[in-house]
Structure 1
Amino acid sequence: MRHTISRLLGPQAQPPTGDLLATLHSLLRGHTQLLIPEVEHAALQRDADDVPRYVALACIDQARIKLHIQPRPGAYQALVHARRLARSLAALCDHYEALTGVVMCLACDQALRDNEETLPYHHVTPSGPAARVGRIHARCAHTYRRH
């Protein structure tokens, strides 16, 4: 999911067009539809006055709204809508990780397990400080992925 998001929002992401944009848009919609019930389930396990629960449920409401909005005609409007979906999906991913305690590898998007060797990861952009900070599997240390 985060890889799909990075194709639209990453610091070096080139705006996709045509079939690639349509494919990414479909992936974002599908990922969002899959993640909403997971985040909702995790949020509803929390106390009613829990702030992370409240914020996650508000994010879910916004994601559902974005899923129902149809982009206006034109390539630029399709790109704008896809980026909105990508930001919404990124927020859902963050809420899922925060609510469940799952930590994901920033290189391969797979869960980091307690018994796996991990390394710190700092993706630095040429124009500034780290764009993403976290951990990766040791086996992913030699892979490169643009975020």
Structure 2
Amino acid sequence: MNSTATTTTIPAAVDIATMRHCISRLLGPDVPPPAGEELAVREGLVRGHMQLIIPEVERAALARGEDDVPRYCALACVGEARSKLSAPAGSGPDRALAHARRLARCLAALCDHYEALTDVAMCLACDQPLREGDETLPHDHTRPSGPATPAGRIHARCAHTVRRR
């Protein structure tokens, strides 16, 4: 039973999947902590993504009604993100890594707010956006050894994909 997804079009500047991949390179459970130049590159990518998404989250939040709770939460996150972007990392490799991870967590929160405010639907199997015209299937998968994957939709092409997380 196939259907098409009805979602909001994502602006070209906001590539949530790429941002989430960048986040996973700093916060992923199986990723060794980067150091030196690699850490600087990853932090620079996170900073760049934050600079792209902050105005988009702010724009989406301000389009909501003044009494909208998600609007206030998103605007608070935008303020926190700007604060973290302007904060110095501190001296030493441990502080630089901690600062880069703080930025990555902040970027993850901005991505979450962006998706919530713009009704962007993501495929639960591949973490890519479900776009207008994509063939999708409902997905509500439970595992015998653990909690259920949240209900949502997946691309039809991802129906037989095994997700490893």
Correspondence 1:117 to 2:135: yes
Who is 1:72 aligned against?
A: 90
TM-score by length of 1: 0.81
Pick the structure with more strand per residue: 1
Who is 1:59 aligned against?
A: 77
1:104 to 122, 135, 158: 122
Mark the CA change 1:35 to 1:114 in structure 2 (over 3 Å): closer, same or farther.
same
Q: CA RMSD in A?
A: 2.7
Distance apart, 1:5 and its partner CA: 0.5
Gaps of 5+ in 1: none
Q: Which has the higher contact order (CA 8 A, sep 6+)?
A: 2
Correspondence 1:27 to 2:45: yes
SS at match of 2:46: helix
Mark the CA change 1:107 to 1:56 in structure 2 (over 3 Å): closer, same or farther.
same
Q: 1:98 corresponds to which letter in structure 2?
A: A
SS at match of 2:89: coil
Distance apart, 1:142 and its partner CA: 7.3
Who is 1:88 aligned against?
A: 106
Mark the CA change 1:121 to 1:113 in structure 2 (over 3 Å): closer, same or farther.
farther
Who is 2:21 aligned against?
A: 3
Mark the CA change 1:33 to 1:51 in structure 2 (over 3 Å): closer, same or farther.
same
TM-score by length of 2: 0.73
Cα displacement string for residues 13-32 of structure 1 (whole angstroms, at most 9, x for unaligned residues): 22111222111100000000
Who is 1:39 aligned against?
A: 57
Question: Which structure has the larger Rg?
Answer: 2
Is the 8 Å Cα contact of residues 12 and 146 (structure 1) preserved in structure 2? Answer: no
2:155 to 131, 137, 141: 137
Q: 1:57 corresponds to which letter in structure 2?
A: L
Q: 1:82 corresponds to which letter in structure 2?
A: A
Mark the CA change 1:135 to 1:21 in structure 2 (over 3 Å): closer, same or farther.
farther
Q: 1:89 corresponds to which letter in structure 2?
A: L
Q: 1:97 corresponds to which letter in structure 2?
A: E
